[in-house]
Structure 1
Amino acid sequence: MSYNITPHAVDVHLKSISWATERGQIDQVQSQQHNIDRLVGSYVANAFESLQLQRAHLERFSDTDYCRAKLSELKLPPAKVWWIQLLAKIALNSAEAPANTRQLATCLRAELPSYETELTIITRVGENLLRLMQCEGTSEIVHTLFADDLMTRWYTSSVTYNLFNALARETVRLICEQTSAKPMNILEVGAGTGGLTSHLLELFDPSATRYHFTDIGAFFLRAGRRRFANYGFVEFATLDLERDCNEQGFPNGSCSLVIANNVLHDTKNLRFTLQNVSRVLAPGGYLLMLELTDPQVWWHMCFGSLDGWWRFKSDPSDDREELMLLKSEQWSELLAATGFDQTTVLSDSVAPDFANRLFLSRVGRG
């Protein structure tokens, strides 16, 4: 199979498109970022105040042993120590006094109607933050986030993802157009709610495409089967990126394109994961990867108690230390070290400073 377009050529094409609507939404949000951060800081400060934790305590929370001891004293789950350390940093970095959260949230909704989904995530978690800090496990935060299809709406159509979904769609369209041989064998890993998937499936010729919708979670596979039941070329399978893909029904060199939407960072060893992905790609094949590189503080409050946020802590051979996230240049370096000889950050010319980055990488031709 011949892959005729380079990541750089895709980037040049994307730069020729204005993306004015999506960029305009982002600009509006960034004009209110200070107030969004203040809302989050106020939720966090209120939760710590309810626990009678003063600034002097929070300043010592960077000491993990001290923090664990304090959590034990307060009967808070020790497993949440790293998340609570993050929350302490948010509180310490909030220079202003806590705001009236209901009033501020109402004002933000009026100023940013397009940001309703994100503000719903923030307020749902913020208003229940103390309870979420106190409860064992992750079932409560999962229910809070996924009730009423909130996460599906966020990944499918929101300011956070609209631009990146559009960039990804145009990238995949161009790759399909420029790939000379068929069929195309496409693997989406960690497909989750199918938010990105929903923007891509119409691009493919059903008679010349096999699209593998994979995830480690049975819940997502069941939901995916329902959501995409009308696409006969889509296959659904469990895939664990922390195990060799070749042993799970995806042979080395079998895929034209791998798509990964904010999932690779959730694995415990990034070097192994990227090598795993590079092996499943045919020579010259592509990895289209969206990754969170510069999160706003609300991401830490809302998602920091999920297991995936800290999974890297379970593997001492992984290079990450404080956070699961890498900066853009770190991703590029790691991709180059794991079999990808060309990488371009497609989103940098459009949204270089809005949480995520969209990477297109290509494995060597062998």
Structure 2
Amino acid sequence: MSIVEPIIRDNHILPPDDDDWDSVFHIEWESDANFFTGAELRPRTPLCKATTDRQITLARAAALIIRTALRNIPVDIPDFDPSRLTGFRKQLYQWMNAYNSSPASKLVLGDVTMTAMLEIFSSLAQMGIEGEILAKIGPNIGGILQGTIDPMALLLEDGRIDRMQDSMELVQKTRAHLRAYLSSFASKKPVMNVLEVGASTSNNTEAIFEVFDQKNVSYTITDSSLPVLEQAKSPSMNDCLKLKALDVNRDPLEQGFSPQSFDVVLVNNILHTANSLEETLANLRKLLVPGGVLALIGFSDLSPAYNLIFGMNENVWAGERFEQLTYPASTEWNRMLQNNGFSGIEPATKTFDYVGQSSYCVISTAVASTQHLMVNILPDVQGKFLNFADQLSTSLADTGTASTIAPTLDSVSSRFIYIVLDNGSSPLTKYERLTKANNVLWISMKTDGMEQRDMHVVTRFAKGARKSNEGLRLVTLDVKQDYLEYSDILKVITRIIQVSFQEDRGTRTEAEYEYRNGKVLVPRVKSAGMTNKLG
């Protein structure tokens, strides 16, 4: 949705020596990234039996490969000594043993006869790209554990691992969701520096890089093992991409990275690669500018088939353990993120499920500081907003924010966030004292019997107030919803208070909001290109 506002003449983009053209710009109201929850997914068609059977067969094939390898390796390789394994091979072997003795393995293989086992192995060629990869891994596990066979070569040959990930429904959904969020995030202010962590463990680089569509964006891709990263990414490298080594379990500043140098940090499979989520989040925070985005994407639950396939990449494994971390509950995510300089989980955070497997996209924002100022709610002089003010006060209390309701404004204090509930019944002169305040949220809403104040008048008042007081943070919310659910708008207001006043998000903040059709919108200046001057 958009409305055409001023025509602006911009000499910087005019064709040289041509005064017959003007640049036309207009305002488009777009959904705000701070309220982004993702597109509504169409109801999924119920899984057919063939799809479920295929996943079961792949899981059984992987379990059989693991069991067979553990039985045969000591026979086929007489001098094989598990205690001498190091690095990811040690972790791979430990995981194989743990899975083979787990209830999950016994459940998968409980009714598999020798005949069924032979049928499963012979059917791998018909099991798609996953079956093709498992058929390559199975006979070579002994050599992989010994170090005589490079497992990455098996994955990368004919683009197998990329083709597999591109075909996975979990990957498609997670990637599409992240792309949509980052596109919304980048509309506020150009993204200049992007860091991708664990890049060899996924196939998201090109898809995410294309979101920014800027010639001057710097995109750095990293992983704990640079040789493996170069092996995985070099064949399809974009000239704009830079490769570096980065171990998320160590201080990035000690690895040659500059503090607060990235607008976006994308981390793949943190539940697999992090020794400690808290310590890793603290390390990642050092790299982000205030207002920058941390995006964590990966798998939280996978079948043994995918775990075995991804386990061929040494960069998937953490340095201190062989099992992946459990996906935390929302309260635990919030605690860890907020303790390490982040906002907590953003509304864009989402999980996806498919045939008993799960993926996640966790979004959080780097904040320079957090302050919990008291709120002073100013209802209209006629008292029509008193009930709403009381509900707002209760809603704020639920988020830990104290508030008062004051029908009159006798003085202002830097210790308060002032919320104006404006239905147009009070003259603007009533609010002149607010020009001396530090934090003001002006909410324009309609009440019965009153004509809502022209928002352009409020905008002019706000611009004048900001001009006379450079320390004033004045944010406006224009509610254009005819049939308003108070519960919905209360959530919007408490969210605006959080992102605009309680958290320091640097320069990625908004001064104007509009609430329409259940959506929170923000203005964006768009160019309509060159238009011939009339007359």
Could you tell me the TM-score, scaled by structure 1's length?
Answer: 0.72
- CA distance in 2: counterparts of 1:219 and 1:48, whole angstroms: 26
SS class of match (1:242): coil
Partner residue of 2:175 out of 156, 160, 165: 165
Partner residue of 2:284 out of 255, 277, 280: 277
SS class of match (1:348): strand
Q: Which structure has greater strand proportion?
A: 2
Aligned-partner residue type, residue 5 of structure 1 = A
Q: Post-superposition shift, 1:285? A: 1.7
Q: Post-superposition shift, 1:121? A: 2.3
- CA distance in 2: counterparts of 1:308 and 1:213, whole angstroms: 13
| Runs (5+) with no aligned partner, structure 2 | 1-30, 370-535
Say if 1:267 and 1:308, in contact at 8 Å, map to a contact too: no
Could you tell me the TM-score, scaled by structure 2's length?
Answer: 0.51
Q: How does 1:174-213 map to 2 (within 5 A)?
A: 174-177=184-187, 180-192=188-200, 195-213=203-221
Q: Post-superposition shift, 1:87? A: 4.0
Aligned-partner residue type, residue 142 of structure 1 = M
- CA distance in 2: counterparts of 1:39 and 1:30, whole angstroms: 14
Q: Post-superposition shift, 1:306? A: 5.7
The structure-2 alpha-carbon separation of the partners of 1:128 and 1:221, relative to structure 1 and needing over 3 Å to count, comes to closer
1:149 equivalent in alignment to 2:159: yes
Q: Post-superposition shift, 1:166? A: 2.0
Q: Post-superposition shift, 1:240? A: 3.3
Aligned-partner residue type, residue 94 of structure 2 = W
Q: How does 1:3-82 map to 2 (within 5 A)?
A: 5-6=33-34, 9-11=35-37, 13-14=38-39, 16-18=40-42, 29-30=51-52, 32-50=54-72, 75-78=80-83, 79=85, 80=90, 81-82=93-94
Partner residue of 2:245 out of 238, 250, 260: 238
Partner residue of 1:97 out of 107, 112, 122: 112
Match of 1:291 in 2: 298
- CA distance in 1: counterparts of 2:255 and 2:73, whole angstroms: 47
| More moved, 239-248 vs 162-171 | 239-248
- CA distance in 1: counterparts of 2:298 and 2:314, whole angstroms: 17
The structure-2 alpha-carbon separation of the partners of 1:47 and 1:221, relative to structure 1 and needing over 3 Å to count, comes to closer
Q: Post-superposition shift, 1:350? A: 6.1
SS class of match (2:296): strand
- CA distance in 2: counterparts of 1:255 and 1:156, whole angstroms: 27
- CA distance in 2: counterparts of 1:175 and 1:246, whole angstroms: 26
Count of residue correspondences: 323
The structure-2 alpha-carbon separation of the partners of 1:264 and 1:254, relative to structure 1 and needing over 3 Å to count, comes to farther
Q: How does 1:102-113 map to 2 (within 5 A)?
A: 103-104=119-120, 107=123, 110=126
Say if 1:138 and 1:307, in contact at 8 Å, map to a contact too: no
Q: Deviations over 1:198-246 (max 9, x none)?
A: 11222223245222223341352476455233x54x3333333334323
Q: Which has the higher contact order (CA 8 A, sep 6+)?
A: 1
Aligned-partner residue type, residue 340 of structure 1 = F
- CA distance in 1: counterparts of 2:51 and 2:97, whole angstroms: 27
Q: Post-superposition shift, 1:47? A: 3.3
Partner residue of 2:97 out of 85, 91, 106: 85
Say if 2:198 and 2:267, in contact at 8 Å, map to a contact too: yes
Q: How does 1:324-363 map to 2 (within 5 A)?
A: 324-329=324-329, 333-344=335-346, 346-348=349-351, 353-363=356-366
| Runs (5+) with no aligned partner, structure 1 | 54-71, 315-321
SS class of match (1:212): strand
- CA distance in 2: counterparts of 1:284 and 1:352, whole angstroms: 36
Q: Post-superposition shift, 1:258? A: 0.6
The structure-2 alpha-carbon separation of the partners of 1:146 and 1:88, relative to structure 1 and needing over 3 Å to count, comes to same
Match of 1:317 in 2: none
Say if 2:341 and 2:368, in contact at 8 Å, map to a contact too: no
Say if 1:287 and 1:362, in contact at 8 Å, map to a contact too: yes
SS class of match (1:192): helix
Q: Post-superposition shift, 1:154? A: 3.0
Q: Post-superposition shift, 1:32? A: 3.6
SS class of match (1:284): strand
Aligned-partner residue type, residue 206 of structure 1 = Q
SS class of match (1:277): helix
| More moved, 24-33 vs 213-222 | 24-33
Q: How does 1:238-317 map to 2 (within 5 A)?
A: 238-263=245-270, 265-304=272-311, 307-308=314-315, 311-313=318-320
Q: Which structure has greater helix proportion?
A: 1
Greater radius of gyration (CA): 2
Q: Deviations over 1:100-158 (max 9, x none)?
A: 44533565765x6xxx22222222223434x257x424854333333333223334444
SS class of match (2:36): helix
